[in-house]
């Protein structure tokens, strides 16, 4: 895989806080098609780091390169076309008068032919179970329905990068699973690069690598397996192991060793069956 995003020695302080670095000499390379989770306590710099990639935050020091282009005032419009971003609050993202119009908005700006646009919007509406609500206005939608619309709008134009900034934190489990399943499907079929800022450690299991941050700096980059094998490190960053991972560590204390992280109850059943079959 090729390097798609290169962040080199980024440092940034917010206006009025020159002595507090929101980003402190941060460097990170992300490959095309990777799923990266960024985790850490509140105020650790996760969202600030994500916002540097599409120029919403412009660091005082360091360089940002996306698909071979250094981010400058001249390249910013081109780079932003490569990136879709979904924030925590869906009310700040709805730009269309209806669900259908919101998803179609970006495609209209790209000048997509009407037939092709209708086909893509219809496919996305069906994938996120909003086809019956396609003519509803934002005021007629629940928070979860708005957020599903925001995700569909972000991926409708088929960006190279999708940034999810706590995008699932306000969703019920069913809506969260639906969105993550859609993003995973798009990621695998279109080599979409996903950068997910999250406090939900279960979601971390979907990622190829995890970036752990504290006080504006990256402290660890690891696979989910390596990270979850170090519960002390997770605790030091005010995070909590997923319940099934807590169970895996408890089983290890009883000499029942399960090597791979447990994604769901089905993986737990399979692991225990494998363990019992070897006894």
Comparing 35-44, 179-188, 206-215, 263-272, which segment has the lowest mean pLDDT?
Answer: 263-272
- Whether the per-residue pLDDT at 163 is higher than 90: the answer is yes
Which domain covers residue 265, as residue numbers? 242-279
User: Looking at residues 17-22, what average pLDDT do you find?
Assistant: 87
CA 56, 57, 58, 61 dihedral sign is negative
Please report the pLDDT score of residue 7 as a whole number: 97
Q: How far apart are CA 43 and CA 80, in angstroms?
A: 25
User: Looking at residues 55-79, what average pLDDT do you find?
Assistant: 95
Please report the pLDDT score of residue 235 as a whole number: 86
Position 264 in a domain: yes
Task: Compute, in degrees rounded to 10, the torsion defined by CA atoms 86, 34, 206, 180.
Answer: 30
CA 153, 187, 195, 26 dihedral sign is negative
Bridge-based pairing of strands 161-165 and 83-86 is: parallel
Q: How far apart are CA 114 and CA 212, in angstroms?
A: 43
Position 211 in a domain: no
Of the ranges 7-11, 12-16, 167-171, the best mean pLDDT one: 7-11
Position 267 in a domain: yes
The tally of domains found in the chain comes to 1
Position 14 in a domain: no
* Kind plus residue range of the DSSP H or E element containing 269: helix 265-277
Please report the pLDDT score of residue 265 as a whole number: 66
Give percent above pLDDT 90 in the chain: 53
- Whether the per-residue pLDDT at 263 is higher than 90: the answer is no
Position 260 in a domain: yes
* Residue with the larger pLDDT of the pair 251 and 124: 124
User: Looking at residues 201-221, what average pLDDT do you find?
Assistant: 93
Q: How far apart are CA 247 and CA 152, in angstroms?
A: 35
Give the model's confidence band at 143: pLDDT under 50 very low, under 70 low, under 90 confident, else very high: confident
* Residue with the larger pLDDT of the pair 134 and 175: 134
Residue 260 — left, alpha, or beta (φ > 0 → left; ψ -120 to 50 → alpha)?
beta
How many CB atoms within 10 Å of residue 209?
A: 19
Position 275 in a domain: yes
Position 172 in a domain: no
Position 89 in a domain: no
Please report the pLDDT score of residue 189 as a whole number: 87
- What's the burial of 220, exposed, middle or buried (CB within 10 Å: 0-12/13-18/19+)? middle
């Amino acid at each position: 895989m090729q390097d798609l995003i290169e962040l080199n020695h980024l440092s940034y302080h917010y206006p009025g806080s020159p002595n507090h670095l929101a980003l402190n000499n941060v460097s990170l390379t992300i490959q095309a098609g990777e799923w990266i989770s960024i985790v850490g306590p509140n105020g650790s710099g996760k969202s600030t780091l994500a916002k540097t990639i599409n120029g919403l935050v412009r660091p005082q020091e360091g360089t940002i390169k996306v698909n071979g282009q250094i981010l400058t005032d001249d390249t910013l419009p081109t780079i932003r076309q490569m990136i879709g971003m979904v924030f925590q609050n869906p009310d700040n993202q709805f730009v269309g008068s209806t669900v259908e119009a919101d998803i179609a908005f970006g495609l209209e700006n790209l000048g997509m032919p009407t037939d092709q646009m209708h086909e893509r919007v219809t496919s996305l509406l069906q994938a996120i179970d909003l086809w019956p609500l396609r003519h509803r206005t934002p005021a007629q939608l629940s928070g979860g329905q708005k957020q599903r619309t925001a995700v569909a709008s972000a991926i409708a134009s088929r960006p190279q990068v999708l940034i999810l900034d706590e995008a699932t934190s306000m969703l019920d489990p069913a809506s969260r699973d639906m969105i993550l399943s859609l993003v995973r499907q798009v990621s695998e079929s279109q080599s979409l690069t996903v950068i997910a800022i999250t406090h939900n450690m279960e979601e971390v299991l979907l990622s190829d690598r995890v970036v752990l941050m504290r006080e504006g700096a990256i402290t660890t980059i690891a696979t989910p397996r390596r990270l979850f094998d170090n519960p002390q490190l997770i605790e030091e960053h005010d995070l909590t192991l997923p319940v099934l991972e807590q169970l895996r560590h408890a089983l290890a204390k009883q000499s029942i060793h399960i090597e791979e992280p447990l994604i769901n109850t089905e993986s737990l059943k399979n692991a225990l069956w494998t363990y019992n079959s070897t006894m």
